[in-house]
Amino acid sequence: MIDAKVLDSGRMIKWCPGCGNFGTFRALKDAIVSLGLRQDQVVLVAGIGCSGTITNYIKVNTFHTLHGRVLPVSMGIKLVNPRLTVIGSAGDGDAYAIGVAHLIHAARKNIDITYIVHNNKVYGLTTGQASPTSDFGQVTRSTPIGALEEPVNPLALALSSGATFVARGFAGDVKHLTKLIIEGIKHKGFALIDVLQPCVVWDRVHSYSWYRERVYDLNEEGHDTSDIVAAFRKSFEWGDRIPIGIFYKVDKPTYEERLPQLKKIPIEEDLKAIKIKDLIEELI
């Protein structure tokens, strides 16, 4: 089994001190170690934003893609080589704004990837503008009189789109978040893990202490993860009490299992027989 230290790239981490990215990053590494995954078995795909630089800091296969395109790239990798463990990492702006359509279709396809969204309720990289998950009335750099839109509900959106694993974690509880990521990776099908993640610079309201006063583990309170109606109800609970944990989990055939082309041999095996040089010369 590899050690978490082996996963460190050795590059200087440039997140702000206290950033919630640190907790999510630690939970991801601990999950990979706990599952006994080899570095060459894992592909981490990240987008644009503070969370996107995570690919610089971890020694697994990585792909840093365009803003909002984490899921298309992740799906492509998984379809070419289904034996890989594919994990997507995106911020709330990346995932729920420009990339929101991809979330809907990845969920309904039930492709076997794990999507971890660093949800800090602001655009942290570009100095604190309102994001799709900013609370109504939330004051940010771009909404000085308060956000005028209702926030996107990521969990309800994923549930209504057909996601077979929907969970929420808190970056301030690394052990609990690690367990969620482990369960998400083990799950056969599309898994969304929305992570409540404080931005200590641009959001002075949703701090670690603010979340700790409100979050509770709904699984410890007997929530039925097979009941999608109950999951919907819990997804709308926000305020004095905020549930974290697994909201919904169900087993269904994955997109890969339904695709006849993948039943015989992975596309990756077919590609080995292709002479890339000859193909390039033909196209030129």
Task: Tell me the domain boundaries of the chain.
Answer: 4-283
- Of 236, 117, 135, nearest to 171 by C-alpha is 117
> What pLDDT is recorded for position 1?
61
Q: What does the alpha-carbon distance between residue 230 and residue 71 come to, in Å, rounded to a whole number?
A: 27
Residue 59 is which amino acid? K
Q: Is 129 left (phi over 0), alpha (psi -120 to 50) or beta?
A: beta
What's the CA gap between 274 and 25, in Å, rounded?
A: 37
Question: What local confidence, expressed as pLDDT, does residue 281 receive?
Answer: 82
Tell me which residue has tokens 């230290």: 5
Q: Name the nearest CA neighbour of 25 among 68, 87, 75.
A: 87
Neighbour count for residue 238 (Cβ, 10 Å): 12
Q: Show the 3-state SS of 112-176.
A: CCEEEEEECCEECCCCCEECCCCCCCCCCCCCCCCCCCCCCCHHHHHHHHCCCEEEEEECCCHHH
**Region label for 172, one of left (φ > 0), alpha (ψ between -120 and 50) or beta (otherwise):** alpha
Closest CA to 181 of 198, 167, 161: 167
- Please give the model's pTM, rounded to 2 decimal places: 0.93
Block residue for tokens 């006994």: 36
pLDDT score, position 142 = 92
Q: How far apart are CA 256 and CA 112, in angstroms?
A: 8
What burial class does residue 230 get, using C-beta atoms within 10 Å of its C-beta: 0-12 exposed, 13-18 middle, 19+ buried?
middle
Query: Any idea what DSSP says for residue 97?
Result: I
Answer positive or negative: Cα dihedral of 90, 96, 100, 103.
positive
pLDDT score at 283: 81
Please say whether the beta carbons of 184 and 165 come within 8 A.
yes
> What averages of pLDDT result for each successive group of 10 residues across the chain (284 residues)?
82 95 97 95 95 95 95 95 95 95 97 97 92 94 93 98 98 98 98 97 95 98 98 97 98 91 66 70 81
4-283 maps to CATH 3.90.190.20: no
Q: Which of 57, 133, 149, 135 is closest to 95 using CA atoms?
A: 133
Q: How far apart are CA 113 and CA 263, in angstroms?
A: 18
Per-residue confidence (pLDDT) for residue 262, from 0 to 100 = 74
Give bridge partners of residue 194 from the DSSP assignment. Answer: 117, 168
